[in-house]
Structure 1
């Protein structure tokens, strides 16, 4: 096992050494944006987004308000929906680029949602052994990026997995990760991104993504020991409803993680409700149990939460905040969980006419790191 670990680590370091220059961060060095994976579907369902009473393109609005990055998910073969496949993702990236923003492509490596509780392998790969799964993962990642590059749409950043707290493609969360297998799969995905970058004018930065700050350090310690080394960015999901850590504690985690693993850190998922009311019969995922003292479920409370979260991230040395998913409003369409949206109370648009809310204001703020607070009695 030790020889295997060393071999994986050397392969990862060789990949890092031979990779080309990574894409530069946006002007100012701070990634601020949102996951807009639902926009195409919402518009097909009749949603019309407005600002100042006038219909707007949501991508152009995000950019105009100060956003500089769009995140978009991709599923392997989601037969239950016609969205979040390569065609839909291509459309989203093209719209983001037309608005002048960078793109973060989020590979779920699943036919359905992959998250901190489950990582279900694509049906086509489920019965393969580890070596065959690694090859399939590499080929798929390389193929998607190659097709995007051929369209002039290579993303500037790529997630190798989404909220990969459990074992990648390992099913429902297990008590223990098989890191011998997990490292092979992660390094295959990372290598695919690096190889695609070497063949393109754009060499995407690689992000690995863990849900909730309390899980980040244990996971990356294990990943490091297993030889998963060649990444540029650590993405953290932070939803207070599902986290044991406060906003200040999130900042402390970001500072430690940045120093410990020598990687940039982005809060790549977060959200906050502007109301506890419902616009439809689909239950809100973020209810009163997600609220933080000092930030009521109001449009101003939502905005203030985002401003303070971003300032906390910047103070800790983090390089960005990406919101999930501000355009998932209530429409005539539905999901497997009910008619409408499970997220409309955490969107950035009101219930009446989908008018833009003050939450957008966090994108245009100037965030300057504040001096660290001295402990009581300090100099």
Structure 2
């Protein structure tokens, strides 16, 4: 599917009609707040499958990865998307078409989908927020219109594949803003305008989908407060907070306490959408997983997503994950999901 040029006026004029019909699209709706979500980001899976990789369960039986994850109570899958990515197997792919096709498999397995929009051509994270190359020289108004068009198109590709995402992240670890420098947190009016454009287009197509703001390193409370205070003061729109934290078990309770405090300050629910640890340190990573789940449940957090637990060594330069690449079996880290 190819995006067609659509003006902002056309997009907004069609929002009401789209909203009226969007609830008919297939896919899981957002979880009840009383249900704790156990999830996983497995965005590398299509590339790993294309490379001939596969996964075994703990008993050594070969299954589709989603089937194995379900054995650990995983009920939701997070998938990242890049705007115009390269074909690099580790740092590319993840187009909306590729991710939507995989999301349809997730839906067929009875799982919910979280879509993670990076608003870049490759990784954007707490320290990097580069716009897509095609947007690099845009003015604020041009970039805002590009945001309207891109998110509208992205949501409609998901709808074409019959998937209603339960959550959509509008940006990945956006402590410092998005599409910098235009959408930098130091220019909060423009940052808010870009994010609100994304929010409005998600809701135009999927009015019941929860739109998430995602920040990293919640141990840095002042950084979170800077973002949220500026975003709220400029009329920012969002439904739920998502946080990344990879800390050890002994700091989990304090970090989750910060997640709760900043979320309560703005009247928003929250969840941890990235957790991970060293795959070669099974005991400590499992302990951290259990500690975060326990702390999240105690503080009203709505879920936890493990970042790429099933990654194989060919794709993994981080030493992270929860699978043994030699045996293709899950490590005992995954038992943390059922023990917590």
TM-score (norm 1): 0.76
What is the aligned partner in structure 2 of residue 231 from structure 1? 238
Q: Return the offset for 1:346.
A: 2.2
Structure 1 residues 27 and 221: CA distance shift in structure 2, 3 A:
closer
Is 1:147 aligned with 2:157? Answer: yes
Q: Please give the alpha-carbon distance, in whole angstroms, between the structure 2 residues aligned to 1:112 and 1:231.
A: 24
Aligned length: 311
**1-structure distance, mates of 2:233, 2:183:** 21
User: Whose radius of gyration is greater, 1 or 2?
Assistant: 1
**Partner residue, 2:177:** 167
Matched residue, 1:3 = none
Unaligned runs of 5+ in 2: 1-15
Q: Deviations over 1:291-326 (max 9, x none)?
A: xxxxxx2x2332221011110111122111111111
Paired residues for 1:232-271 under 5 Å: 232-240=239-247, 246-271=251-276
2:308 equivalent to 1:325 = yes
Match of 1:220 among 200, 216, 228: 228
Instruction: Pick one of 299, 321, 327 that aligns with 1:347.
Output: 321
In the TM superposition, what is the alpha-carbon distance from 1:28 to its structure 2 partner? 5.0
User: In the alignment, is the contact (CA less than 8 A) between 1:76 and 1:109 conserved in 2?
Assistant: yes
Contact (CA 8 Å) 1:159, 1:209: kept in 2 or not? yes
**1:173 to partner: Cα distance:** 11
How has the CA–CA distance of structure 1 residues 341 and 92 changed in structure 2, closer, same or farther, with 3 Å as cutoff?
Answer: same
After superposition, the C-alpha distances for 1:255-312 in whole angstroms (9 at most, x for unaligned) are 212321111111111111131xxxxxxxxxxxxxxxxxxxxx2x23322210111101
What are the superposed Cα offsets for residues 14-53 of structure 1, whole Å, 9 maximum, x if unpaired?
Answer: x9xx999993416951121110101111122232211111
Aligned partner (choices 72, 82, 93) of residue 65 of structure 1: 72
**Are 1:115 and 2:125 an aligned pair?**
yes
| In structure 1, C-alpha distance between the alignment counterparts of 2:231 and 2:140, rounded to whole Å | 17
User: 1:173-229: CA deviations, max 9, x gaps?
Assistant: 97x62012101101100001111114xxxx21100001110132321112111211x
2:196 matched residue in structure 1: 187
C-alpha root-mean-square deviation of aligned residues, in Å? Answer: 2.6
Q: Is the 8 A contact 1:236 1:268 kept in 2?
A: yes
The change in CA–CA distance for 1:361 and 1:172 in structure 2 (over 3 A counts) is: farther
Please say if residues 107 and 160 of structure 1, whose CA atoms lie closer than 8 Å, have aligned partners that are also in contact.
Answer: yes
- Do structure 1's residue 364 and structure 2's residue 332 form an aligned pair? no
Question: 2:336 and 2:106 mapped to 1: Cα distance?
Answer: 19
Q: 1:177 aligns with which of 174, 177, 186?
A: 186
Is 1:274 equivalent to 2:279 in the alignment? Answer: yes
Task: Give the Cα separation in 2 of the matches to 1:252 and 1:326.
Answer: 25
Report if the CA contact (8 A) 2:252-2:288 is conserved. no
Which whole-Å CA distance do the structure 1 matches of 2:164 and 2:39 have between them?
18
Contact 2:126 2:215 in 1 (8 A): yes
Tell me if the contact between 2:117 and 2:168 (Cα under 8 Å) persists in the aligned partners.
Answer: yes
Please give the secondary structure, in 1, of the residue aligned with 2:212.
strand
Match of 2:9 in 1: none
- Cα distance in 1 for partners of 2:143, 2:183 equals 19
| Partner in structure 1 of residue 144 of structure 2 | 134
* Moved >6 Å (runs of 4+): 18-22
For residues 157 and 24 of structure 1, the distance between their equivalents in structure 2, rounded to whole angstroms, comes to 7
Q: 1:49 aligns with which of 55, 60, 66?
A: 55
Pairing 1:74–2:81 present: yes
- Aligned mates of 1:226, 1:152 — CA distance in 2: 35
Find out whether 1:308 has 2:288 as its counterpart: no
Distance 2:93 2:267 in 1: 36
Q: Does the 8 A contact of 1:37 with 1:72 survive in 2? A: yes
Q: What stretches of structure 1 of length at least 5 have no aligned partner?
A: 1-14, 276-296, 332-339, 368-379
Shift of residue 103, structure 1, vs aligned partner: 0.3
Whole-angstrom distance in 2 between the partners of 1:28 and 1:66: 16
Q: In structure 2, what is the Cα distance between the partners aligned to 1:37 and 1:361?
A: 21
TM-score when scaled to structure 2?
Answer: 0.84
